[in-house]
Chains A and B, each alone.
Chain A
Amino acid sequence: MKELLEGRVWCLGDELDTDQLIAGKYLTIIDPQELKKHVLENVDPRFSREARPGDILIGGENFGCGSSREHAPQALKAVGLAAVVANSFARIFYRNSINIGLPAIEVPGVRSLFRPEDIARIDLPGGRIQNVTTGEETRFPPLPDHILGILRAGGLVEKVRQELRGASTSPREGLA
C-alpha cells in the first residue's frame, strides 16, 4: 500500500448512497472491470470514462450509506482510485473498502476544502491531507493499527491468509 498519495480529485455530495454508486440492476455482475463501467452513472456519467488511476474521491457526510454491496468499493477500486476520503462514512461501505484494500479515510470537514480537479496530497500514517492547488491543509486521526494492518497486507484476504498460515505452523492466541 502506498502511504503517501497524490492525485486529482473528484467531488461528491452528502449522503451519496450505494444505489447511486452502483445501481441494483448491476448487482449480478461480479467482474470489477465490468462493474466500473456503471459506477456513479446516474450521478456523474463522466466519472467512469474519465477517472484515471491514482485519482482521489472526496465525499461529504455518510458516504456510502445504504446497502452492504461490496460492488460499490469494488467498482471504485477497479477505476484505480488511490483513496476515498469523506467527511464521514457509512460503516459497511467503510469496512468493505478497507477489506478490499481501498483506503477509506475519514476527515471531518474535508469536502469543503476541495473543488473538482484540485490536487490532493495525503500522508496516511501522518494523518495529513493537503489541497496542493490551494495550499490548504487539515489533519485527521491516523488510522488505527488494526485497520492499517489490513491495508498494509493489501486487504483482508491476504491478512487472513497470513494469519491462517501462521496458525498452522505456530500456536497462537487468536486472530489479531
Chain B
Amino acid sequence: MSTRSLADAAHETNTEAPSHGQTLAQKILARVSGVDAPVPGQIVEGAVDLAMGHEQAAQAVLPFHQMEAPRIWDPSRVVIAIDHWVPASTEGAAKLHQILRHFAAEEGITNFYDVGRHGICHQVLAEDGWVVPGDLCVGTDSHTNMLGAMGAFAVGIGPTEFAAVLATGRIWLKVPPTIRVEVEGTLGKGVYAKDLILRIIREVRCDGARYKAVEFQGPTISRLSMSERFTLCNMTTEMGAKAGMVAPDATTREFLQPIAKHPMHPLTPDADASYERTISLDVDGMEPQVACPYSPDNVRPMSEIVKEHVKVNQVFLGSCTNSRMDDLRIAARIFRGEKVHPGVRFIVSPASTAIYRQCLKEGLVDLFTEGGAVFTNSSCSACFGGNMGILAPDEACASSSNRNFPGRMGAKEARIYLMSPAAVALTAIRGEISDPREVLP
C-alpha cells in the first residue's frame, strides 16, 4: 500500500519516448477506417457501427432530406432513444418526438425507445448491448463518451453531422492523442467512481483533454463494475475529451455476452503504446469530492465543504452519470427510514425504465417516497434545466449529475454542487452538503 499523500498522489509524466505501439483509440480507428497505423493528427474516415439519436436528432431530419440520400445507410445500426422530455412536457418537445416517430417509420428504424420503453439514451444503449468492444459509436448527446466504457470509441456529434452519418454510414475524425489515467489503490468507505472522476477532472481541468482520448487503466479500474466505468467515461466530456475508454476485459465480456447486438472486436492498447501524457493517481485515503459552482473542474475535497455548512434547496439523484441500480441502492442504504430535510426537495430519477421497475421490485420507490422524495419516471429530468426540477435564483442544489455551469438547471445565479449518490442522499436528509463517511458503517 502506498503512503503518498493525496497532494502528491496525482502526478504526471510527459517524457515517454515515442514508440510504434498503438493506443486503444488508434486501434479502433484503424479497424473502422482501414488505415493501417493511424497517427494522432491524421484525419481518417471511419465506418460507424452504431448511431444513436435523441430529441436533438429531430433537427437532423431536414438536413438529411436536403442531402438527397435515397435511404438511411442501415436502419439496423440506428437507435432513437428520447429522454430529455419524456413524456413530452411542452408542445415543442411533442413536435420533436413526432418528427422522430415519422422519420423512424419512413426509414424503417425499428429500434425506437419511445415513451413507455424509454430511458436515458446512453443507459438504454448500454443495457441492450448496442455498443460492443471495438465499435465506433456516434450519438447526438455530448455524454455519448459513456459508452467508451465498453472498450469502444464513442463520440458526441451534432444533428447536421448525424444527418451525414445517416446518409453515408461514415464520419471523418482526427485521430486523437491519448491521455492515460492510471489508477491504483482502493476506494474507501463512502468514496465512489464519481469521486474518482471528479478528482481526475480537478487535475485535467475542463479543457485539458480537448480533442483527446482518455484511457483509464490500472488495478483500481480493473476492479470497477461496468456501472462505475460508465460514470468515469461519462464525465470525460467534462474534460473536453473526444472519447473516454476502458479496454475490454472479463467484466466487459460478462456484461455484454448475453446482450451484445453485434459481434465484438475486443481491441486492447499495445504495451508500448505512445501516450501524450500519463496521470497516475493513488486513491488510497482519497476523500469524497465536490465540484462547486460554476464549473465541473472547481473540485474540492468534501471535508472543506462540510465546514462551510452549505445549505441546499434541492437535491437531485439522477442523470446518465449516476442513476443506475448501484447508485440508487447506495443512496437508499443511507436514506432508509429517514426523511427529507424540511424545506428541501429531493428528486430521484432512475436512468431507465428497467431500473425504475427494479426499484419497484426492491421496494426503493416506497423507501424514497415514504421519506418525502419525488420518484419520477426515467428521463434526463432536472439535469439540464429544460424540463423539471428547475432552480430559482439564489437556490442551491446538490446533484449526482455532471454539469454545474451558470444556468445549467435553471436560474443563472443558482448554485449546483456535483457529488456522489451517497453524498446526495445524506445531503437530502440533513439539508446541507454532507459527508457520507459519517453514516456508513
Chain A residues close to B by CB (< 8 Å): 15, 17, 19-20, 23-30, 42, 61-62, 65-70, 88-92, 95-96, 99-100, 144, 146, 155-157, 160-161, 163-165, 174-175
B157 proximity list for chain A (CB < 8 A): 68, 92, 95
CA–CA, A99 to B59, complex, Å? 13
Minimum CB–CB distance for A106 against chain B, Å? 10
Check B56–A70 contact: CB distance below 8 A: yes
Minimum CB–CB distance for A155 against chain B, Å? 7
Report the interface size for chain B: residues with CB under 8 A from the other chain.
51
Interface residues as binary, B185-214 with A (CB distance below 8 Å gives 1, 0 otherwise): 000000000000000000000110011000
Check A155–B160 contact: CB distance below 8 A: yes
A68 proximity list for chain B (CB < 8 A): 56, 140-142, 144, 156-158
Minimum CB–CB distance for B210 against chain A, Å? 6
Q: List 8 A-B contacts (CB under 8 A).
A: A20-B412, A62-B240, A65-B206, A88-B210, A95-B158, A96-B160, A100-B160, A157-B67
Chain B residues close to A by CB (< 8 Å): 43, 45, 55-56, 58-59, 63, 66-69, 84-85, 90, 92-93, 95-96, 140-142, 144, 156-161, 163-164, 167-168, 170, 172, 206-207, 210-211, 240, 242, 295, 384-386, 390, 403, 405-408, 412
Main secondary structure on chain A at its contact with chain B?
loop
- Tell whether A20 pairs with B406 under 8 Å between CB atoms, given A160-B167, A161-B67: yes
Check B66–A161 contact: CB distance below 8 A: yes
A160 proximity list for chain B (CB < 8 A): 67, 69, 163-164, 167-168
Q: Which of B66, B90, B159, B405 contacts A66 (CB 8 A)?
A: B405
Q: Determine the residue in chain B with the shortest Cβ distance to A89.
A: B210
Check B67–A24 contact: CB distance below 8 A: no
Residue from A23, A26, A92, A175 with most neighbouring chain B CB atoms (10 Å)? A92
- Tell whether A28 pairs with B168 under 8 Å between CB atoms, given A91-B240, A164-B69, A175-B45: no
Q: Determine the residue in chain B with the shortest Cβ distance to A145.
A: B43
A99 proximity list for chain B (CB < 8 A): 158, 160-161, 164
Q: Which of A19, A61, A92, A144 contacts B405 (CB 8 A)?
A: A19
Minimum CB–CB distance for B414 against chain A, Å? 11
